[in-house]
Amino acid sequence: PKAIQLADYRAPAYEVTDTHLRFELHDGYTLVHSNLSLKQNGDETELLLNGQDLELISIKLDGKLLSEADYTTAEEALILSGLGASHTLEMTTRIYPEKNTALEGLYRSGGMYCTQCEAEGFRRITYYPDRPDVMSVFTTEIIADAARYPVLLSNGNPVSEKIEDGKKHVVWHDPHKKPAYLFALVAGDLQVRDDHFTTCSGREVLLRIFVEPQNVDKTEYALDALKRSMRWDEEVYGREYDLDIFMIVAVDDFNMGAMENKGLNIFNSSCVLANPATATDAAYQRIEAIVAHEYFHNWSGNRVTCRDWFQLSLKEGFTVFRDAGFSADMNSATVKRIEDATMLRTVQFAEDGGPMAHPVQPDSYIEISNFYTVTIYEKGAEVVGMLHKILGEEGFRKGSDLYFERHDGQAVTINEFVQAMEDANDVDLTQFRLWYKQSGTPVVEVLTQYDHAAERLTLNLRQYTPDTPGQTDKKPLWIPVQLGLIGHDGEDMEVRPDQPDFWTEDSQVLHFREAEQTFSFGGVVEEPVVSLFRDFSAPVRIHYQHSQSALRFMLQHDSDGFNRWDAGQQLMLHWIELAEKGRFKFTQDDIDALHTVINDVELDPAMVAYLLALPSESYIAESRPQYDPVAIHKAREQVMAALADTLSDDFKACYQRLNVSGDYQPVPEDMARRSLKNLALSYWAKADAEGVEAARLQFSSADNMTDQMAALRTLVAHGNQAEAEQALAEFYTQWQQDSLVVNQWLTVQCGSSKLGTPAHIRQLLEHEAFDWRNPNKVRSVIGAFANQALCHFHGADGEGYKLLADAVTRLNESNPQIASRLLTPLTRWKRLVPNQSQMMKSELQRIMDHGSLSKDVYEVVSKSLM
294 is catalytic: yes
Q: Residue 39 CB, nearest distance to ligand B3K (Å)?
A: 28
CA 523 centroid distance within chain: 44
By a kind-dependent CB cut-off of 5 to 8 A, residue 413 interacts, out of Zn ion, ligand B3K, none, with: none
For the bound state, the minimum distance from the C-beta of residue 316 to Zn ion, rounded and expressed in Å, comes to 5
Region 280-309 residues binding ligand B3K, contact defined as CB under 6 A = 293-294, 297
Nearest to 215 by CA among 154, 264, 267, 159: 267
Distance between CA 521 and CA 510 in Å, rounded? 12
What is the number of the residue whose Cβ is closest to ligand B3K?
118
**Residue 253 vs 260, nearer CB to Zn ion:** 260
Using alpha carbons, select from 716, 643, 723, 721 the residue that is nearest to residue 684: 643
CB of 32 to ligand B3K, least distance (A): 21
Q: Is 363 helix (H, G, I), strand (E, B) or coil?
A: coil
Q: How far is the CB of 157 from Zn ion (least distance, A)?
A: 24
Residues 6+ apart with CB under 8 A from 767: none
Coil, strand or helix at 14: strand
Number of neighbouring beta carbons within 10 Å of residue 5: 12
The binder of 225, among ligand B3K, Zn ion, none, by C-beta within 5 to 8 A per type, is none
For the CB of residue 180, give the shortest distance to Zn ion in the complex, in Å: 17
List, in sequence order, the alpha helices (H) in 377-437: 380-407, 414-425, 434-437
Answer with the entry of ligand B3K, Zn ion, none that 863 interacts with (C-beta below 5 to 8 A by kind).
none
Q: What secondary structure does DSSP assign to 257-319, as a single string?
A: SEE--TTEEEEEGGGT---TTT--HHHHHHHHHHHHHHHHTTTBTTTBEESSGGGHHHHHHHH
- Choosing among ligand B3K, Zn ion, none, which partner's interface includes residue 155 (Cβ < 5 to 8 Å by kind)? none
To the nearest whole angstrom, how small is the minimum distance from the Cβ of residue 267 to ligand B3K?
Answer: 10
- From residue 260 to residue 279, the character string flagging contacts with ligand B3K as x (rule: CB under 6 A) and all else as - is x-------------------
Output the smallest distance, CB 286 to Zn ion, in A: 14
Identify the residue among 48, 119, 705, 847 touching ligand B3K (CB under 6 A). Answer: 119
Sequence-distant (6+) residues with CB within 8 A of 51 are: 76, 77, 78, 93, 123, 126, 127, 128
Between residues 334 and 373, which has the closer beta carbon with respect to ligand B3K? Answer: 373
Rule CB under 6 A: which of 743-802 touch ligand B3K? Answer: none
Stretch touching ligand B3K by CB under 6 A, among 253-261, 426-434, 526-534, 543-551 = 253-261
d(CA 623, CA 572): 12
The whole-angstrom separation of Cα 289 and Cα 350 is 24
Give which of ligand B3K, Zn ion, none residue 239 binds (C-beta under 5 to 8 Å, depending on kind): none
258 or 786, CB closer to ligand B3K? 258
Show the site string, 318-347: x = touches Zn ion by CB under 5 A, - = not: -x----------------------------
Beta strands at 541-543 and 443-451: parallel, antiparallel or unpaired: parallel
DSSP 339: H
Residue 260 CB, nearest approach to ligand B3K (Å)? 5
User: Which distant-in-sequence residues (6+ apart) come within 8 Å of 216 by Cβ?
Assistant: 191, 193
Contacts of 146 (CB under 8 A, 6+ apart): 163, 166, 167, 168
Nearest of 825, 820, 822, 849 to residue 836 by alpha carbon? 825
- Among the residue ranges 223-231, 315-323, 418-426, 637-645, the one whose residues contact Zn ion (CB under 5 A): 315-323
Do residues 805 and 843 lie in contact, with contact meaning Cβ atoms separated by under 8 Å? yes
Question: What are the phi and psi torsion angles at 127 (to 5°)?
Answer: -70, 135
DSSP β-bridge partners for residue 827: none
Smaller CB distance to Zn ion: residue 377 or 785? 377
Closer residue to Zn ion in complex, CB, 319/482: 319
Considering the complex, state which of residue 14 and residue 318 has its C-beta at the smaller distance from Zn ion: 318
Tell me how far, at minimum, the Cβ of 415 lies from Zn ion, in Å: 20
Q: 516-521 and 484-486 as β-strands: parallel, antiparallel, unpaired?
A: unpaired
Among 241, 246, 254, 372, binds ligand B3K (CB under 6 A): 372
Q: Would you say 293 or 779 has its CB closer to ligand B3K?
A: 293
Q: Using the rule CB under 5 A, give the single segment among 79-87, 310-318, 355-363, 764-772 that binds Zn ion.
A: 310-318
Number of residues that bind ligand B3K (CB under 6 A): 12
Say whether 56 sits in a helix, a strand or coil: strand
Candidate ranges 258-266, 462-470, 563-571, 729-737; the one touching ligand B3K (CB under 6 A) = 258-266
Of these partners, ligand B3K, Zn ion, none, which one is at the site of residue 259 (CB under 5 to 8 Å by kind)?
ligand B3K
One-letter identity of residue 544: Y
Count of residues touching Zn ion (by CB under 5 A): 2
Question: Which residues does 83 contact at the CB level (< 8 Å), separation at least 6?
Answer: 14, 38, 40, 45, 46, 47
Instruction: Give me the helix-helix angle, 333-343 and 312-330, nearest 10°.
Output: 140
We find the least distance from the C-beta atom of residue 859 to ligand B3K, in angstroms, to be 14
- Report DSSP letters for 576-606, one per residue: HHHHHTT-----HHHHHHHHHHHT-TTS-HH
Residues 12/129, Cβ–Cβ less than 8 Å: yes
Fill in the amino acid letter for 631: A
Among 16, 34, 108, 118, contact with ligand B3K (rule: CB under 6 A)? 118
State the binding string over 352-371 for ligand B3K (x if CB under 6 A, else -): -----------------x--
| Residue number with CB closer to Zn ion (272 or 486) | 272
Question: Under a CB-based contact definition with an 8 Å cutoff, are residues 683 and 695 in contact?
Answer: no
**Pick the catalytic residue: 90, 104, 294, 622?**
294
Q: How far is the CB of 314 from Zn ion (least distance, A)?
A: 11
Contacts (CB under 6 A) with ligand B3K, residues 305-344: 316
Chain-centroid distance of CA 196 in Å reads 29
Q: Using CA of residue 364, residue 368, residue 370, residue 374, what is the dihedral sign? A: positive
Q: Please name the residue ranges forming H helices in 179-278.
A: 220-237
By beta-carbon proximity to ligand B3K, the closer residue of 90 and 294 is 294
Complex with ligand B3K: residue 358 or 673, whichever CB lies closer = 358
Least gap, CB of 355 to ligand B3K (angstroms) = 20
Of 34-42, 317-325, 830-838, 846-854, the segment contacting Zn ion by CB under 5 A is 317-325
Identify the residue among 259, 495, 611, 710 touching ligand B3K (CB under 6 A).
Answer: 259
- Pick the closer one to ligand B3K by CB: 531 or 815: 815
- Considering the complex, state which of residue 278 and residue 298 has its C-beta at the smaller distance from ligand B3K: 298
**Residue choice 25, 89, 180, 256 for contact with ligand B3K (CB under 6 A):** 256
Distances (CA, A) of 239 to 161, 288, 389, 404, 804: 32, 19, 22, 9, 44
Which distant-in-sequence residues (6+ apart) come within 8 Å of 853 by Cβ?
812, 847, 861
Residue 372 touches which of ligand B3K, Zn ion, none (CB < 5 to 8 A by kind)? Answer: ligand B3K
Residues classed as catalytic:
294
Which positions lie near ligand B3K, rule CB under 6 A?
118-119, 256, 258-260, 293-294, 297, 316, 369, 372
Which positions lie near Zn ion, rule CB under 5 A?
316, 319
